[in-house]
Structure 1
Amino acid sequence: MTIFVVSIVFYLYFKVRILNHKNPLYMHYTNGKARIALGVFIASFGINAYGFYQTQFALFVCILFLILGGAQIVHGYKVFKHYRGEIIRLQEAGDLD
């Protein structure tokens, strides 16, 4: 239950932080972190649904949510990692504020 709340709060926090950034690199970087938080929320929701109902249908939903959550986490991590490298590279070159 705590993972639900923490992950959805992080998701909303990162989505709101995107509005504060004017630089598209920071926007994509923050969006990657938001996707990771969303993936954790979806995966934990699926696990909780199976733990609560423990039926065959709940198992199907759990597996589906784990796949969708895992896909969000993997994609978010790739976006986060890529744009983190770009931001570091531009900061070292002095081209980024």
Structure 2
Amino acid sequence: MLLNFIFVFFIVVSFVFYFYYKTKQFRSTLPIRKKWYTAKAGVALGVFVIAFGLNATIIYPTTVGYIVAVVFILVGAGLAYNNYKRARHEGQYIQEEYELNK
């Protein structure tokens, strides 16, 4: 029961971060910064999907539930990892882009 609340907490927090970074992406005018916020939002979305998959194992403790949860966890991990790499790469150029566009 406590584990369910922990996963729900991560689901809500990751959704809030996803919404926050998507809002920052739409408000940004610099192209690299837009890509950086998109990647950060993708990391939050990946954490959301992972937490949702882990929560599904608690709510649906059947074979089908476990299969669906594994699919969610794998897709979320791939999404989070790929976007984390993108965010690190594009984060290197944020300051340089800011300096060029003063």
TM-score, normalised relative to structure 1: 0.91
Q: CA deviation at 1:90?
A: 4.3
Which whole-Å CA distance do the structure 2 matches of 1:22 and 1:34 have between them? 17
Match for residue 30 of structure 2 among 2, 23, 27: 23
Corresponding residue for residue 100 of structure 2: 95
Post-superposition CA distance 1:11-37 (Å, at most 9, x none): 011111111111110000011110000
Corresponding residue for residue 3 of structure 2: none
- Kindly report the root-mean-square deviation, in angstroms, between the aligned alpha carbons of the 2 structures: 1.2
Corresponding residue for residue 33 of structure 1: 40
Q: CA deviation at 1:96?
A: 3.9
Q: CA deviation at 1:78?
A: 1.1
Match for residue 79 of structure 1 among 77, 80, 86: 86
What 5-or-longer segments of structure 1 have no aligned partner?
none
User: After TM superposition, which residue ranges in structure 1, 4 or more long, deviate above 6 angstroms?
Assistant: none
What 5-or-longer segments of structure 2 have no aligned partner?
1-7
Post-superposition CA distance 1:50-71 (Å, at most 9, x none): 1111111111011100111001
TM-score, normalised relative to structure 2: 0.86
Which whole-Å CA distance do the structure 1 matches of 2:59 and 2:73 have between them? 16
